[in-house]
Every structure is written in structure tokens, then in C-alpha cells.
Structure 1
Amino acid sequence: MSALAMLYATYIVKGDKQYKDVPELLKPQVKQILEDQGLGYLTQ
């Protein structure tokens, strides 16, 4: 898991970014981070 993916996940949780803003390369990692936190609905 990259620090950048964690950063994007944090931005999404805070409402500063949306999943669609995440670069394609990082989307699988960000999705996994959010799902692990029970926040998978934020990837919809």
C-alpha cells in the first residue's frame, strides 16, 4: 500500500476528493483501503 493511496483515501473520507478523482493506477489500492475501513460505499 502506498502512502499516496492512503492520502487519497483520507481526502475522500474528509470529502475533499471523490473516488473519480483518483488516478487509475491508484484506484485499486484506494478502494481496498476504503473497504477495509467499512467505507466501500465511497467508491460508488
Structure 2
Amino acid sequence: MVPIYVALIIHGRRTFESVPDILKEAVRAELLALGLDENGNPIN
């Protein structure tokens, strides 16, 4: 489910707040590994 939520956030279909609490840390870690913040925007 983590990759699905990451893809949905990147494409603007979901927000980080809509991710179930149990998955938030894993989704946050995956987004950071991709160089993105919790909103799917590039980290400068």
C-alpha cells in the first residue's frame, strides 16, 4: 500500500493527511528517499 499512497501523493490525488496513521511513517520515508516532501514537492 505504501507505493500506492506515494504515487497518489506525487500525482496530487491524495494528501499526506489522508494516509492511514499506520502507514504514515513508511510513506514519509519513501517520499524523502525520492527527494520529495510530504506534499510530493521536490526538496530544495
Q: Normalising by structure 2, report the TM-score.
A: 0.83
After TM superposition, give the deviation of residue 14 of structure 1 in Å: 0.3
Q: Moved runs in structure 1, 4+ residues, more than 3 A? A: none
Counterpart amino acid of residue 40 in structure 1: D
**Residue 12 (structure 2) aligned to one of 12, 15, 24:** 15
How many pairs are equivalent?
40
- Structure 1: state its 5+ residue gaps: none
Q: CA RMSD in A?
A: 1.4
Q: Normalising by structure 1, report the TM-score.
A: 0.83
Structure 1 or 2: larger helix share? 1
- Structure 2: state its 5+ residue gaps: none
